[in-house]
Amino acid sequence: MSIIPGIGHIDENSDLIALQACSDGFYKTGSLGVKQILTTGDRKVEFIVFEDNTLAYVKSLLGYPAYYPVPDVGIEKPVKAVLMDLDGTTVRSEEFWIWIIQLTTASLLDKPEFELEEADIPFVSGHSVSEHLTHCIEKYCPDKTVEQARTFYFEHTHREMEAILQGRGRKNAFKPSPGIKEFLLKLKSKNVKLGLVTSGLYEKAYPEILSAFETLKMGKPDDFYDAIITAGFPLRKGSCGTLGELSPKPHPWLYAEVCRVGLGLEFRERHHVVGIEDSSAGIASIRLAGFAAIGIKDGNIIEGGTLGLCNHFCDSFEEILEILF
């Protein structure tokens, strides 16, 4: 077992992989004060470890990687805020959106029978739409472009979302996660601020949470949550988009913004803030934003090799409540 600045204790069960050099070639183990270099199982984030601090190198399939400091994290009570992912954590919808990615790839290939492989799953969930599509293009149809893929993606999305709203779409596309209602109401009763965070674009993310709240009979999510942040609106010809495709999870910005701007909590209060995720990209995002990360089962945390970044890994929301209070 060893202690990594900003990350904490890691051992053979942490699933972090040792590297000789950072993938951009700038940092090498044993040079410039670098003690070791580690990467997550999905190789999306690399950690450059020095004596007293650690840097994270977040890779990008779209060509815009970034370095971030890795702040120390911890859980100090009372917990002031809980930040939660949408897909897979609050609402079980990952299968639906992976299916949309599959339909999009099938359209690019002009092969309606196309199906994604199990090995694709960590790369088509938890990141931005464009990164999901880039993975599929590089693997299955390198002669196509992300722009072509996005055109098909939004065609499929608009059609299927409209069908769902009319009651004739894919069955059980958006199901509230087991125990989520009791969990959210308990946090409310304790005056804990609640932030909802998703790498999904607004037009696909908001109908999900609205549908879940209608199922749970909890009113409007806008009234319930203290802050909601999505990856914004897609950049398309003829309309104005917002920043979101280049700065999603595992970058820290969505979690940092919902907490600092949405909830008004300063960085020095970060140990009183906890993030909950089911995806490897989300766990990395929470940690790089400076918050303790609680992983919940049934996502791709284990497959994505980020179990070592989780401060806790739980089977249920009931178990999480025991940690928080």
| pLDDT attached to residue 294 | 98
pLDDT at 239: 87
Count other C-beta atoms under 10 Å from residue 219's C-beta: 10
Identify the sign of the CA torsion 130, 168, 173, 180: positive
- Sequence letter at residue 221: P
Tokens encoding 168: 């004739």
First to last CA, the chain: 29
Angle between helices 94-109 and 129-140 (to 10 degrees): 40
Q: Which of 239, 144, 168, 169 has its CA nearest to residue 201?
A: 239
Residue-level pLDDT at 232: 92
Which pair of tokens denotes residue 170?
Answer: 């894919």
Please name the amino acid found at residue 256. Answer: A
Q: What are 163-172's contacts with CB under 8 Å, separation 24+?
A: 164/207, 164/211, 165/207, 170/96, 170/99
Q: CA–CA separation, 5 vs 2, rounded Å?
A: 10
Q: To 10 degrees, what angle do helices 129-140 and 146-165 make?
A: 120
What is 81-92+175-324's CATH number? 3.40.50.1000
DSSP 187-244: HHHTT-EEEEE-SS-HHHHHHHHHHHHHHHT---HHHHSSEEE-------TTS---S-
Distance of alpha carbon 285 from alpha carbon 110, whole angstroms: 35
Query: What residues pair up with 4 in beta bridges, in sequence order?
Result: 8
The span from the CA of 249 to the CA of 234, in Å, is 16
Full pLDDT tens readout for the chain, 325 residues = 689 999 998 877 788 999 999 999 999 999 999 999 999 999 999 999 999 999 999 999 889 999 999 999 999 999 999 999 999 999 998 889 999 999 999 999 999 999 999 999 888 987 888 999 999 999 999 999 999 999 999 999 989 888 877 777 777 788 999 999 999 999 999 999 999 999 988 988 888 898 889 889 999 999 999 999 999 998 888 889 999 889 999 999 999 999 999 999 999 999 999 999 999 999 999 999 999 999 999 899 998 899 999 999 999 999 999 999 9
What pLDDT does residue 1 have?
A: 65
The one-letter amino acid at 226: D
Query: Do the Cβ atoms of 194 and 226 come closer than 8 Å?
Result: yes
